[in-house]
Amino acid sequence: MMGYPRKQNGVALVVSLLMLSVMMLLAVTAIRSSEVSLRIVANVQSQQIAEEDAERAIETVLSSADNFQNPHAVTYNPSSDSDGLTTTVSKADCLSVRPAPGYSARMPNAPEETTWEVTASANDDRSGARTEVHQGVKIIMTAGNCT
């Protein structure tokens, strides 16, 4: 019978413990990496929800002529997707006014081609996401609405 060499004295145990330690380190690194990725995805999702709410609020303002005949700031209810989200649309700013195509400035009560800027900001207190969306719009209105 052949015997085992006596000089090993637990080398296999040391090597296996070393391999186990390296594998454990790799597993911990993978877990931490996935946690960071998960946080990044959550932040991107919060930012997208804030942007969507700001755009939705602007579309609501653009859908009513009253918001341009009597401009005022408005706070909208947040989407059902996110608690702590506040969306505010500032007063529509009239940037320019000129006679509507086909009309003269000398004509009384001639329609005017007006250019407006609407700005919405959305803040999510829970995630810290903040966004500001600007939208320009050109509207033909009766004279005197854009001052």
Average pLDDT estimate for 129-147: 89
- Given this model, what pLDDT does residue 7 score? 64
- Give dist(CA 41, CA 142) in Å, integer: 48
Average pLDDT estimate for 99-117: 86
- Give dist(CA 53, CA 129) in Å, integer: 12
User: Does the pTM exceed 0.85?
Assistant: no
- Given this model, what pLDDT does residue 110 score? 85
- Given this model, what pLDDT does residue 66 score? 85
- Give dist(CA 98, CA 143) in Å, integer: 10
Q: What angle do CA 131, 132, 135 make, to 5 degrees?
A: 140
Higher pLDDT, 76 or 132: 132
Smallest CA-to-CA distance from 62 within 131, 132, 144, 139 is with 139
Average pLDDT estimate for 28-56: 92
Distance from the first to the final alpha carbon of the chain: 107
Whether the predicted pLDDT of 4 surpasses 80 = no
Query: Which DSSP string do the residues of the chain spell out, in sequence order?
Result: -PPPPTT-TTHHHHHHHHHHHHHHHHHHHHHHHHHHHHHHHHHHHHHHHHHHHHHHHHHHHHT-THHHHS---EEEPPPTT-TTEEEEEPPPEEEEEEEPTT--TTSTT--EEEEEEEEEEEEETTT--EEEEEEEEEEEE-TTS--
- Given this model, what pLDDT does residue 88 score? 92
Average pLDDT estimate for 82-101: 87
Q: Where are the domains of the chain?
A: 11-141
Whether the predicted pLDDT of 85 surpasses 70 = yes
Whether the predicted pLDDT of 33 surpasses 80 = yes
Instruction: For the chain, give the mean pLDDT.
Output: 86
Average pLDDT estimate for 24-47: 93
